[in-house]
């Protein structure tokens, strides 16, 4: 019994952790490589969730079928924002917090005007709406699907950042924009594509969380705060850090929620993040390429 | 001459690299000591150690017969150690006068600064402004000053702070010849009243101001003495010319 | 120096006179009066932010933490007053949550003096602790923003979670009127408006002096380069903590007034969007000046308030857009724009005068003024 409930909690933690990582991944890329604190990240998520809802309720396309479309749409939107607003703020990091929050408000209100303020629901894909029984554990298949997909996105992102020409250029620009440019790298292009990629990831995250959380114009606010805690605790620019910190925070949430309650679990998680930042402002796994 | 500053057996390592190893150095009251050495010899690190920016892994620092090895930076400043950085660091958004007021820190506590005005006029302020030739720019924002003027403003701030011991990291870096010679004058007016430790590359400037020179090499003292002693010292020539020789080869 | 004092002081005085003359203009329209009192109460957290962010460079994204504590402190008192006739003097929500007797920490809130003291003192104390915790470790910039944001979320979650003592999501409603020395102050009255306006003016005037003291100068220097300040012998962490705590106290005052003007306290006071709204108002007005931040808060709220009923969402959209434009093109806010314009006019005037003097000097007239050439 005790062993079973332990594994069951561990799975819940893993599931929460995977969602945290999923929503933090795009933010980690944007913050880590461009230094932009994108508070509109939650709204990108929201856009993804609404796009999924729209596809499902209006066009009859299922969640899985919408993913690619959602990624492309939100990425394009992110690209547009980077070109029109964010690119002017690279030398003012604190101001990016303010401007992106302003963008977030506009997106929230714009969506409220377009789609109304009421809650929307996205249905689970039928094939994933089952619960597996494994060694006495009840595992919802959709949660497993999210974990697998998160690992997949993580691997793709890692490959993109560390093994491709684009990733190399991005790291060069991150380290020293002026020198990278003198070697013929178009840093503007690299930055706007990176921002678009991060936004697209947020869109996919929004699509995936849509069936398990309710969809509303202001759903992003809670996500962006959580995502931030994951990224900052993990260490700016470190994918490994984001993974570990999402895992730790997920398990911590599940564990404390089991012992006390959900709210106190969150309280404890946030206090942990504060203490970690205090003693390791560089995060758990600092990225050594950034000085 | 009694020693005001005494460094014994100092060691610092960054990620395994020993920037300073086994450094012994003593500076007398009212003395003007020049620190020379190639890049990476440990000169700036030595200044960092004295003002508390870097903590040593071994050794002791004594200032006016007091062990300050573990003392906080701001407390060392209160004890009478001032520092000028290599890159001129003034408060760019404040005016020249305001910069000097911040430097006037005889009462640095929160309660005493709450009771004081932003800028107080007094003879000292006028004197210092006159000394560095910034009287006419007293109301200008520090960001509007030229590079040389910024350097002088920082030196003026140190004079205003009235520290017994002033550490200067390359005070003439980036100055024109005319500006350098004015800085020489400034130094000659500071000597005697303050003890100065100056890191400098410009040999002609060093010849102009130095009484005693300490040459550092690989984190240790290589040689000490007057200007001519140092210029004729075999070991120094080797350390300098050696590296230059490699560069030419 | 006198010039630098005089013009801003005139601005502060003009603003004070303007807000004090509002009751004379709106006459007996108490709803309007209440609305304006609400804007003035909301100006206080913006002023608080201008103090720690504009002066010392500490961006506090969790100002609502202090604001909320202030609101709850006064609400606890007013709730007790309103519940006096209940069995055991127990607030209604405690009854609904099966709380049998008044918790010990509620007891002192029977006293108005204690409540006011707590509304300011608790935020100051907590901010001092948090400040000491952060600034001793030289945490700065983005990390301060994240920590304060996390602290805000913690506060919000705790208030919602401790429903038995706080009223949970509903907050504390049906508060009594403030009763000072037997005088009932209706939030829809001139007296209440003057209380709010008076508090704001007092804070602004104290802030005016503070910013121009040497303490203020050191804060500005710390904003520019904390390292350098340290080597002049100032205990930077202590200065930052004091600024942070003072700002928290001001936000607490704002929270108290806000709870009184709305006649309730709610966890939304400690929600993330309101705290970021404080930042918006402060930035739109201009964070470098306390007065500009106050005006920013009043103006943005007035815009939202005037469009509200019919076009609430559009108004929000507009505010978001304005804010983005301000960040992009007016990083020092509307106050910065006014200041720059004034400097430019002043500069142009000075150049004109200098030019005229130069002309007078260079033209060597054979005839002195007042003489007639023969």
Helix (H) or strand (E) segment spanning residue C111: none
List A138's β-bridge partners, or say none.
A133
Identify whether C280 is part of a domain: no
- Closest to B113 (Cβ–Cβ): which among C215, C223, C236? C215
Which residues from chain C sit within 8 angstroms of residue A280, using beta carbons?
A: none
Helix (H) or strand (E) segment spanning residue B223: strand B220-225
- What pLDDT, on a 0 to 100 scale, did the predictor assign at position A199? 94
For tokens 């709406």, name the residue. A129
Shortest distance, CA A105 to any CA of chain C (angstroms): 5
Q: Are B197 and B27 in contact (CB under 8 A)?
A: yes
CATH code of the domain containing B165: 3.40.50.300
- The arithmetic mean of pLDDT across residues B217-231, rounded, is 84
- What pLDDT, on a 0 to 100 scale, did the predictor assign at position C374? 40
Give tens-digit pLDDT for A31-81. Answer: 888 888 888 999 999 999 999 999 888 888 887 888 999 999 999 999 999
Shortest distance, CA B142 to any CA of chain C (angstroms): 12
- What pLDDT, on a 0 to 100 scale, did the predictor assign at position C358? 58
Cα–Cα distance list, C21 to C15, C190, C198, C207, C295 (Å): 10, 11, 12, 22, 16
For chain A, which residues lie within 8 Å of any Cβ of chain C, measuring from their own Cβ?
37, 39, 85, 88-89, 92-95, 97-99, 101-106, 108-110, 112-113, 218, 221, 225, 228-229, 232, 261, 263-264, 266-267, 270-271, 273-274, 277-279, 281
Identify whether C81 is part of a domain: yes
**Alpha helices (H) in chain C, listed in sequence order:** 2-20, 22-26, 30-49, 63-82, 92-96, 112-135, 142-161, 163-166, 190-212, 214-224, 226-230, 236-262, 272-285, 290-329, 333-362
Give tens-digit pLDDT for C1-39. Answer: 444 778 889 999 999 999 999 988 888 888 999 999 999
- What pLDDT, on a 0 to 100 scale, did the predictor assign at position C339? 81
Shortest distance, CA C320 to any CA of chain A (angstroms): 5
Residue A205 pLDDT > 50? yes
- What pLDDT, on a 0 to 100 scale, did the predictor assign at position C33? 92
Which residues from chain A sit within 8 angstroms of residue C142, using beta carbons?
A: 37, 93-94, 97
Confidence class of residue C373 from pLDDT cuts 50, 70 and 90?
very low
List B35's β-bridge partners, or say none.
B199, B214
Backbone phi and psi for residue B109, each to the nearest 5 degrees, phi listed first? -75, 155
Which token pair is B53? 């920016």
Q: Are C101 and C44 in contact (CB under 8 A)?
A: no
Residue B248 pLDDT > 60? no
CA B84/CA B171 separation, integer angstroms: 8
Residue B20 pLDDT > 80? yes
CATH code of the domain containing A17: 1.10.3470
C 100-139 residues with CB below 8 A of A?
133-134, 137, 139
Backbone phi and psi for residue C98, each to the nearest 5 degrees, phi listed first? 60, 35
Shortest distance, CA B33 to any CA of chain C (angstroms): 21
Which chains does chain B touch, 3 or more C-beta pairs < 8 A? C
Cα–Cα distance list, A148 to A21, A144, A151, A167 (Å): 12, 6, 5, 23
Determine the distance from the C-alpha atom of residue B195 to the mean position of all C-alpha atoms in its chain, rounded to a whole number.
Answer: 10
Shortest distance, CA B132 to any CA of chain C (angstroms): 19
Please give the mean pLDDT across all residues of chain B. 85
Residue C64 pLDDT > 90? yes
Reported in sequence order, the residue ranges of B101-203 that DSSP labels E, i.e. its strands, are: 165-169, 195-199
Which token pair is A25? 């991944």
Candidates C280, C327, C330, C336: best to mutate against A (most CBs of A within 10 A) is C327
List B67's β-bridge partners, or say none.
B62
Which residues from chain C sit within 8 angstroms of residue B73, using beta carbons?
A: 230-231
Residue A290 pLDDT > 80? no
A126 class by beta-carbon count within 10 Å (0-12 exposed, 13-18 middle, 19+ buried):
exposed
Residue C254 pLDDT > 80? yes
- The arithmetic mean of pLDDT across residues C52-67, rounded, is 94
CA C322/CA C320 separation, integer angstroms: 6
The counts of H helices and E strands in chain A are 11, 2
CB pairs under 8 A between A and C: 116
Which residues from chain C sit within 8 angstroms of residue B110, using beta carbons?
A: 215, 235, 238-239, 242
- The arithmetic mean of pLDDT across residues C333-346, rounded, is 82
Give tens-digit pLDDT for B49-73. Answer: 999 998 999 899 999 989 999 899 9
Give tens-digit pLDDT for B95-117. Answer: 999 999 999 988 888 988 888 88
Q: How many domains does chain B have?
A: 1
For tokens 């005088």, name the residue. C183
Q: Are C305 and C35 in contact (CB under 8 A)?
A: yes
Residue C351 pLDDT > 70? no
- What pLDDT, on a 0 to 100 scale, did the predictor assign at position B241? 55
CA A252/CA A247 separation, integer angstroms: 8
- What pLDDT, on a 0 to 100 scale, did the predictor assign at position C355? 65
- The arithmetic mean of pLDDT across residues C306-319, rounded, is 72
Q: Does C328 touch chain A (CB under 8 A)?
A: yes
Count of C-beta atoms within a 10 Å radius of residue B191: 15
Determine the distance from the C-alpha atom of residue A110 to the mean position of all C-alpha atoms in its chain, rounded to a whole number.
Answer: 22
Residue of B nearest to C210 (CA): B114
Give tens-digit pLDDT for C155-166. Answer: 999 999 988 899
Q: Are C269 and C258 in contact (CB under 8 A)?
A: yes
C293-309: buried (b, 16+ CB within 10 Å) or exposed (e) per residue? bbbbbbbbbeebeebee
Name which of A264-278, B8-22, B62-76, C354-368 the model is least confident about: C354-368
Residue of C nearest to A86 (CA): C328
The counts of H helices and E strands in chain B are 10, 10
- What pLDDT, on a 0 to 100 scale, did the predictor assign at position C206? 96
Which token pair is C14? 């003009």
Cα–Cα distance list, B83 to A262, B14, B86, B195, C354 (Å): 52, 22, 10, 12, 40
- Report yes or no on chains B and C touching (3+ CB pairs under 8 A): yes
Sign, Cα dihedral of A129, A132, A136, A137: negative
Residue of B nearest to C226 (CA): B91
Identify whether C79 is part of a domain: yes
- Closest to A278 (Cβ–Cβ): which among C133, C283, C328? C133
CA A28/CA A153 separation, integer angstroms: 13
- What pLDDT, on a 0 to 100 scale, did the predictor assign at position B244? 46
Which chains does chain C touch, 3 or more C-beta pairs < 8 A? A, B
Confidence class of residue B245 from pLDDT cuts 50, 70 and 90?
very low
Q: Are A23 and A226 in contact (CB under 8 A)?
A: yes
- Return the closest-CA partner of residue B116 out of C234, C201, C127: C234
CA B127/CA B124 separation, integer angstroms: 5
Domain that holds residue A48: 2-279
Which token pair is C256? 């108290």
Count of C-beta atoms within a 10 Å radius of residue C289: 27
**Alpha helices (H) in B80-146, listed in sequence order:** 96-103, 110-114, 123-132
Which token pair is C273? 């969007």
pTM for the model: 0.89
Cβ within 8 Å, pair B117-C228: no
- Closest to C327 (Cβ–Cβ): which among A99, A104, A108? A99
Backbone phi and psi for residue B217, each to the nearest 5 degrees, phi listed first? -150, 125
The DSSP 8-state label assigned to residue A124 in this structure reads P
Candidates A87, A98, A230, A280: best to mutate against C (most CBs of C within 10 A) is A98
CA A47/CA A54 separation, integer angstroms: 10
- Return the closest-CA partner of residue C65 out of C186, C192, C185, C156: C156
Which token pair is B195? 């003890």
- The arithmetic mean of pLDDT across residues B8-18, rounded, is 84
B159 class by beta-carbon count within 10 Å (0-12 exposed, 13-18 middle, 19+ buried):
buried
Sign, Cα dihedral of C282, C284, C285, C286: positive
Identify whether C210 is part of a domain: yes
Domain that holds residue B69: 3-248
Confidence class of residue A287 from pLDDT cuts 50, 70 and 90?
low
Cβ within 8 Å, pair A97-C142: yes
Residue of B nearest to C242 (CA): B110
For tokens 């969506």, name the residue. A111
- What pLDDT, on a 0 to 100 scale, did the predictor assign at position A107? 93
Identify whether C231 is part of a domain: yes
Residue C234 pLDDT > 80? yes
Shortest distance, CA A163 to any CA of chain C (angstroms): 30
Q: Are C254 and B135 in contact (CB under 8 A)?
A: no
Which residues from chain A sit within 8 angstroms of residue C147, using beta carbons?
A: 274, 277-278
DSSP A165-208: HHHHHHHHHHH-HHHHHHTT--HHHHHHHHHHHHHHHHHHHHHH
- What pLDDT, on a 0 to 100 scale, did the predictor assign at position C119? 96
Cβ within 8 Å, pair C150-A229: yes
CA C305/CA C320 separation, integer angstroms: 15
Residue A172 pLDDT > 60? yes
Shortest distance, CA C285 to any CA of chain A (angstroms): 14
The DSSP 8-state label assigned to residue C175 in this structure reads P
Name which of B168-182, C27-41, C56-70, C291-305 the model is least confident about: B168-182
Shortest distance, CA B18 to any CA of chain C (angstroms): 25
Do β-strands B32-36 and B195-199 pair in parallel, antiparallel, or remain unpaired?
A: parallel
Q: Are C329 and A114 in contact (CB under 8 A)?
A: no
Sign, Cα dihedral of C298, C300, C301, C306: positive
Backbone phi and psi for residue C213, each to the nearest 5 degrees, phi listed first? -80, 175
Cα–Cα distance list, A137 to A5, A250, A260 (Å): 8, 19, 22
- The arithmetic mean of pLDDT across residues C164-173, rounded, is 89
List B212's β-bridge partners, or say none.
B33
- The arithmetic mean of pLDDT across residues B23-38, rounded, is 88
Q: Are A237 and A33 in contact (CB under 8 A)?
A: yes
- What pLDDT, on a 0 to 100 scale, did the predictor assign at position C356? 65
Q: How many domains does chain A have?
A: 1
- Closest to C313 (Cβ–Cβ): which among A39, A113, A263? A113
ipTM for the predicted complex: 0.88
Which residues from chain C sit within 8 angstroms of residue A264, using beta carbons?
A: 157, 161
- What pLDDT, on a 0 to 100 scale, did the predictor assign at position C72? 96
Residue B242 pLDDT > 70? no
Sign, Cα dihedral of B91, B97, B103, B109: negative
Residue of B nearest to C212 (CA): B118
Do β-strands A131-134 and A137-140 pair in parallel, antiparallel, or remain unpaired?
A: antiparallel
CA C164/CA C94 separation, integer angstroms: 6
Q: How many domains does chain C have?
A: 1
Which residues from chain B sit within 8 angstroms of residue C212, using beta carbons?
A: 117-118
Q: Is B32 helix (H, G, I), strand (E, B) or coil?
A: strand
- What pLDDT, on a 0 to 100 scale, did the predictor assign at position C369? 47
- What pLDDT, on a 0 to 100 scale, did the predictor assign at position C360? 56
Which residues from chain C sit within 8 angstroms of residue A274, using beta carbons?
A: 147, 150-151, 154
Give tens-digit pLDDT for C69-92. Answer: 999 999 999 999 998 888 888 898
Residue C201 pLDDT > 90? yes
Which residues from chain C sit within 8 angstroms of residue B77, using beta carbons?
A: 230-233
The residue length of chain C stands at: 374
Shortest distance, CA B91 to any CA of chain C (angstroms): 6
Which residues from chain C sit within 8 angstroms of residue A104, using beta carbons?
A: 320
For tokens 């309101």, name the residue. C274
Give tens-digit pLDDT for B158-194. Answer: 889 888 899 998 888 878 888 888 888 888 888 878 8
CB pairs under 8 A between B and C: 87
Domain that holds residue C49: 2-270
The residue length of chain B stands at: 249
Q: Does C146 touch chain A (CB under 8 A)?
A: yes
Higher pLDDT, A287 or C97: C97
Higher pLDDT, C358 or A28: A28
- What pLDDT, on a 0 to 100 scale, did the predictor assign at position C310? 61
Q: Rounded to 10 degrees, what is the CA torsion of B192, B198, B201, B205? A: -10
Cα–Cα distance list, B16 to A159, A286, B20, B44, B56 (Å): 32, 19, 11, 18, 13
Q: Does C202 touch chain A (CB under 8 A)?
A: no
- The arithmetic mean of pLDDT across residues A103-123, rounded, is 88
């Amino acid at each position: 019994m005790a062993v079973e409930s332990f594994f069951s909690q561990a799975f819940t933690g893993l599931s929460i952790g995977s969602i945290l990582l999923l929503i933090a991944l795009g933010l980690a890329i944007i913050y880590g490589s461009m230094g932009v604190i994108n508070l509109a990240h939650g709204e990108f998520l929201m856009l993804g969730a609404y796009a999924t809802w729209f596809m499902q309720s209006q066009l009859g396309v299922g969640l899985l079928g919408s993913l690619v479309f959602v990624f492309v749409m939100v990425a394009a939107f992110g690209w547009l924002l980077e070109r029109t607003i964010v690119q002017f703020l690279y030398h003012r990091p604190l101001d990016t917090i303010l401007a992106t929050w302003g963008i977030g408000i506009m997106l929230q209100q714009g969506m409220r005007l377009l789609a109304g303020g009421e809650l929307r629901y996205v249905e689970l894909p039928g094939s994933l709406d089952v619960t597996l029984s494994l060694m006495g554990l009840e595992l919802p298949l959709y949660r497993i699907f999210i974990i697998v997909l998160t690992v997949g996105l993580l691997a793709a992102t890692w490959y993109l950042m560390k093994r491709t020409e684009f990733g190399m250029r991005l790291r060069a620009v991150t380290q020293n924009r002026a020198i990278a440019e003198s070697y013929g790298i178009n840093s503007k292009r690299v930055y706007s594509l990176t921002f678009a990629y991060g936004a697209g990831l947020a869109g996919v995250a929004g699509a995936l969380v849509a069936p398990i959380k309710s969809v509303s114009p202001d759903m992003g606010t809670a996500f962006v705060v959580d995502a931030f805690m994951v990224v900052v605790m993990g260490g700016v620019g470190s994918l490994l850090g984001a993974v570990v910190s999402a895992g730790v925070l997920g398990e911590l949430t599940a564990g404390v929620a089991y012992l006390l309650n959900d709210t106190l679990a969150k309280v404890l998680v946030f206090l942990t993040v504060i203490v970690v930042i205090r003693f390791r402002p560089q995060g758990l796994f600092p990225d050594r390429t950034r000085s | 001459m009694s020693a005001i500053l005494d460094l014994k057996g100092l060691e610092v390592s960054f990620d395994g690299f020993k920037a300073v190893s086994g450094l012994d150095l003593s500076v007398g009251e009212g003395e003007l000591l020049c620190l020379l050495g190639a890049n990476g010899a440990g000169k700036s690190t030595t200044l960092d150690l004295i003002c508390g920016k870097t903590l040593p892994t071994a050794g002791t620092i004594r200032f006016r017969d007091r062990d300050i090895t573990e003392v906080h930076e701001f407390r060392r400043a209160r004890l009478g150690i001032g520092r000028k950085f290599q890159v001129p660091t003034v408060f760019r958004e404040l005016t020249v006068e305001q910069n000097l007021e911040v430097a006037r820190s005889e009462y640095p506590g929160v309660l005493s600064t709450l009771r004081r005005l932003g800028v107080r006029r007094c003879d000292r302020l006028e004197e210092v402004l006159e000394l560095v030739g910034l009287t006419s720019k007293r109301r200008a924002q520090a960001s509007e000053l030229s590079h040389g003027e910024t350097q002088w403003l920082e030196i003026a701030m140190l004079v205003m702070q009235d520290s017994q011991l002033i550490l200067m990291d390359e005070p003439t870096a980036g100055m024109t010849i005319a500006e350098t010679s004015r800085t020489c004058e400034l130094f000659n007016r500071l000597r005697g009243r303050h003890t100065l430790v100056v890191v400098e590359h410009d040999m002609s400037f060093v010849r102009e101001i130095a009484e005693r020179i300490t040459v550092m090499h690989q984190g240790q003292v290589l040689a000490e003495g007057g200007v001519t002693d140092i210029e004729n010292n075999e070991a120094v020539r080797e350390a300098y010319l050696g590296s230059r020789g490699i560069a030419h080869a | 120096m006198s010039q630098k004092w005089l013009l801003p002081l005139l601005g502060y005085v003009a603003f004070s006179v303007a807000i004090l003359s509002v009751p004379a203009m709106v006459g007996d329209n108490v709803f309007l009066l209440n609305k304006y009192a609400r804007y003035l109460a909301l100006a206080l957290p913006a002023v608080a932010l201008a103090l720690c962010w504009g002066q010392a460079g500490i961006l506090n994204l969790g100002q609502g933490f202090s604001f909320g504590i202030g609101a709850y402190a006064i609400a606890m008192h007013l709730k007790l007053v309103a519940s006096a006739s209940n069995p055991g003097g127990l607030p209604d929500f405690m009854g609904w949550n099966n709380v049998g007797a008044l918790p010990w920490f509620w007891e002192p809130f029977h006293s108005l003096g204690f409540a006011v003291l707590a509304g300011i003192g608790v935020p100051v104390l907590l901010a001092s602790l948090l400040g000491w915790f952060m600034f001793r470790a030289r945490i700065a910039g983005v990390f301060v923003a994240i920590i304060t944001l996390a602290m805000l979320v913690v506060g919000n979650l705790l208030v919602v979670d401790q429903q038995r003592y706080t009223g949970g999501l509903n907050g504390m409603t049906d508060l009594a009127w403030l009763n000072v020395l037997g005088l009932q102050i209706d939030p829809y009255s001139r007296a209440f408006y003057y209380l709010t306006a008076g508090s704001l003016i007092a804070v602004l005037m104290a802030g005016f002096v503070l910013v121009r003291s040497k303490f203020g100068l050191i804060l500005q220097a710390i904003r520019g380069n904390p390292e350098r300040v340290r080597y002049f012998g100032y205990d930077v962490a202590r200065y930052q903590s004091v600024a942070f705590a003072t700002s928290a106290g001001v936000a607490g005052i704002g929270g108290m007034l806000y709870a009184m003007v709305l006649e309730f306290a709610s966890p939304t006071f400690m929600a993330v969007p309101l705290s970021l709204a404080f930042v918006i108002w402060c930035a739109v007005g201009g964070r470098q000046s306390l007065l500009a931040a106050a005006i920013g808060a009043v103006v943005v709220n007035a815009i939202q308030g005037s469009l509200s009923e019919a076009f609430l969402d559009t108004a929000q959209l507009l505010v978001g857009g304005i804010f983005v434009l301000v960040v992009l093109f007016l990083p020092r806010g509307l106050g910065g724009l006014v200041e720059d314009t004034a400097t430019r006019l002043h500069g142009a005037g000075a150049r004109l005068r200098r030019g005229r003097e130069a002309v007078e000097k260079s033209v060597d007239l054979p005839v002195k003024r007042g003489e007639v050439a023969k």
